[in-house]
Amino acid sequence: MSKVIFGVWDHNVIDNRKKRFFELEEYPGLNDFETFDPGNPIKAFFGGKGFFIFEQGVNLLDAALQYIDRAASESCGKCTPCRVGTQVLKGRLEELTSGKGKIDVLDEIL
């Protein structure tokens, strides 16, 4: 099982940011989830039901941008919400990660 520092999955918030690593409880249901390939630890995971952060220092905005960038590149482009929506989300996350986005960008993303 894996130790989650911060995350939201299926509307359940896990917030262990103020705990030391040895104080973290292992999150049930994430058996053998520590590495993607041997020697390649998973630092963050995003999916349809939310996200998990497994390592201190992971930038949530950068991780979200990487996730949406991958989703946009894998879109088949047949439906407008995916074809256009992923590009809009990617642009807004790029604004935020570059420091150019303002707080109202979060409302637009939502």
Asked if the model's pLDDT at residue 75 lies above 90, the reply is no
In terms of domains, do 16 and 48 share one?
A: yes
DSSP tag of 40: E
- Name 13's bridge partners: 8
**Count of CB atoms within 10 A of residue 3's CB?**
18
pLDDT in tens, 13-51: 989 999 887 788 777 767 666 666 677 778 898 988 889
Same domain, 10 and 37: yes
Do 39 and 69 belong together in one domain?
Answer: no
53, 75, 93 — which closes off a domain? Answer: 53
Q: Which whole number is the average pLDDT over 2-9?
A: 87
Question: Do residues 68 and 93 make contact, with C-beta atoms less than 8 angstroms apart?
Answer: yes
Rg of the chain over Cα atoms, rounded to whole angstroms, equals 16
Range(s) of the domain holding residue 23: 2-53
How far apart (Å, rounded) are the C-alpha atoms in residues 31 and 45?
A: 14
- The verdict on 82 and 102 lying in the same domain is yes
State pTM to two decimals: 0.78
